[in-house]
Amino acid sequence: MKSERFEVDTRGRLVTDITDRVRTFARKAGGDGLLHVFIPHATAGVALMETRAGSESDLEEAIRRLLPRDDRYAHRHGSTGHGGDHLLPVLVSPSLTLPVEEGQVALGTWQSVVLVDPNRENDRRTVRLGFLAG
């Protein structure tokens, strides 16, 4: 299996588009197979979504409604509301598996691969990519 890891600075952003890095890795891996994207963090996830059409702000608003930044959480270390950050991976998985055909990630027309990170206490995120040839 081919693999790679890279760091992402998510400072000031809930949604960070990593599609270009994923596509570059798939091209380098070449051929057909499965590409696995994994975010090894307890407060971040990875998803497919349309970007640059307002969806990022819609997602921010939805997460604010679902996981408000207040003191309701039993998980209380860190800043107020940080307990909600630890619930995000239940809603936004820490991993995705994507088909690759002839070195190209088989995404839909409007799909982008995004890292979702509400945690403002850790702005450096690791992304692990793996390619299993088919």
Q: Which two tokens stand for residue 49?
A: 């979504």
Query: Is residue 10 situated within a structural domain?
Result: yes
Specify if 118 maps to a domain: yes
Confidence (pLDDT) at 8:
97
Residue 77 lies in a domain: no
Question: Sheet of 33-38: strands edge to edge?
Answer: 2-9, 124-133, 33-38, 95-101, 104-105
| Burial of residue 61, with CB atoms counted within 10 A of its CB: 0-12 exposed, 13-18 middle, 19 or more buried | exposed
Alpha-helical segments (H) within 14-80? 19-29, 55-66
Reduced to 3 states, what is the DSSP secondary structure of residue 41? coil
Residue 76 has a pLDDT of 86
Question: Considering the domain boundaries, does residue 55 fall inside one?
Answer: no
> What pLDDT is attached to residue 92?
97
Domain at 34, CATH number: 2.60.120.460
The structural domain count of the chain equals 1
Per-residue confidence (pLDDT) for residue 29, from 0 to 100:
95
Q: Which two tokens stand for residue 95?
A: 């991993």
In a domain, 17, yes or no: yes
Query: For residue 71, what pLDDT is reported?
Result: 93
Q: Is residue 78 part of a domain?
A: no
Q: For residue 69, is it within any domain? A: no
The pLDDT of residue 12 is: 92
Residue-wise burial string across 75-86, b where 16 or more C-beta atoms lie within 10 A, e elsewhere: eeeeeebbbbbb
Q: What is the pLDDT of residues 58-112, one digit of tens each?
A: 999 999 999 999 999 999 889 999 999 999 999 999 999 999 999 999 999 999 9
Q: Has residue 65 been placed in a domain?
A: no
127 in Cβ contact with 1 (< 8 Å): no
pLDDT digits (tens, 9 = 90+) for 34-62: 999 999 999 999 999 999 899 999 999 99
Query: Both tokens of residue 9?
Result: 């600075």
